[in-house]
Amino acid sequence: MKKFSVFIFVIVFTACRQTGIEASNSINVQTLASFDNVKQAGHYLISLPKGLNKIEVNEQINESSLIITVHGYKSEGYEWIKALIAFSKEYSELYFYRYDWNICPDKAGEDLAKSIDSMLTVNDNFDNIQIYGHSYGGLVITYAAANLKTDLDAKIHTIAAPLAGYPRIMDSCNLQYDVNTMLQYPTWGTNISHYQWRTQKEQDGAFRDLDFDPQVIELPNSNVTLLPDSMDGHRLGHNWSVTWVARAILENE
């Protein structure tokens, strides 16, 4: 039985390699749904290897859209579980990107862009890209936007992201700031659309004790949506904002 299992693993691994998709690992979305609660599933998710991890679905649907999700600083992963399960019902090419949150967001963004560009060089079946970054991940994907070499239409969705800057976790980074001490991002291409999904500061446990709202920043050609203060009868705070945005995106597809 052990030899048979190894044989199956080799076949699956080889098949994944032959697709050209540069994913560090792959898991079936049903694995995430099988845990007793989202905290357990989140622990499993955030323990995946660094890089692009494929979220396998059980049927091939909408293979033309490349969906990439990016976690935040010291994420426990659980904020992404319901969103990933929801996305898996609409998209086959779904990925969760793991990175080292101890490196600066501009470098993490460059690494993400390289991974995406590398994927696209061997798979030209995509018509568009959607990248979702929560919290610190919103900075990562905003820096990635300017480094993408693709001409595909790309939508960059930042969720509860301190795009203006969050000194406590970025003091050691050599980032560019404007005269108002707000972060300055490199210019991205005209094929890229940028979206900011902001939580209400007083409802957001990550931001409510600050004397400013680090989500508030004026970026060129960036669309801003302020989230409501509740969802399903509960406070809509920092982490559950991911679920709210996933629902809103899918309802408008």
Q: What is the pLDDT of residues 100-115, one digit of tens each?
A: 999 999 999 999 999 9
Q: How confident is the model at residue 195 (pLDDT cuts 50, 70, 90)?
A: very high
Q: How far apart are alpha carbons 132 and 155 in whole angstroms?
A: 8
Which comes out higher in pLDDT, residue 35 or 21? 35
Q: What pLDDT sits at residue 47? A: 96
- Confidence bin at 253 (pLDDT 50/70/90): confident
Strand partners, 54: 26, 95
* Residue of higher predicted confidence among 94 and 23: 94
Per the CB < 8 A criterion, the answer to whether 195 and 225 are in contact is: yes
**Higher pLDDT, residue 74 or 16:** 74
Q: Which residues are within 8 A (CB) of 190 and not within 5 positions of it... i.e. 6 or more apart?
A: none
Encode burial over 3-38: b for 16+ CB neighbours within 10 A, e otherwise: eeeeeeeeeeeeebeeeebbbbebbebeebeebeeb
Question: How many other C-beta atoms lie within 10 A of the C-beta of residue 125?
Answer: 9
Tokens of 246: 């996933």
Q: What is the mean pLDDT of the chain?
A: 89
CA distance 168 to 155: 28
* Residues 42-52: tens digit of each pLDDT: 999 999 999 99
* Band of residue 9 on the pLDDT scale cut at 50, 70, 90: very low
Span 139-143, mean pLDDT? 98
Q: Which residue has the higher pLDDT, 59 or 101?
A: 101
Range of the domain at 215: 2-251
Question: Are 214 and 166 within 8 A, CB to CB?
Answer: yes
pLDDT for 4 equals 38
In SS3 terms, the chain reads as: CHHHHHHHHHHHHHHHHHCCCCCCEEEEHHHHHCCCCHHHHHHHHHCCCCEEEEEECCCCCCCCEEEEEECCCCCCCHHHHHHHHHHHCCCCCEEEEECCCCCCHHHHHHHHHHHHHHHHHHCCCCCEEEEEEECHHHHHHHHHHHHCCCCCEEEEEEECCCCCCCHHHHCCCCCCECCCCCECCCCCCCCEEEEEEECCHHHCCCCCCCCCCCCCCCCCCEEEEECCCEECCEECCCCCHHHHHHHHHHHCC
CATH classification of the domain holding 165: 3.40.50.1820
Domain count, the chain: 1
Among 163, 135, 136, which residue's Cα sits nearest to residue 223? 163
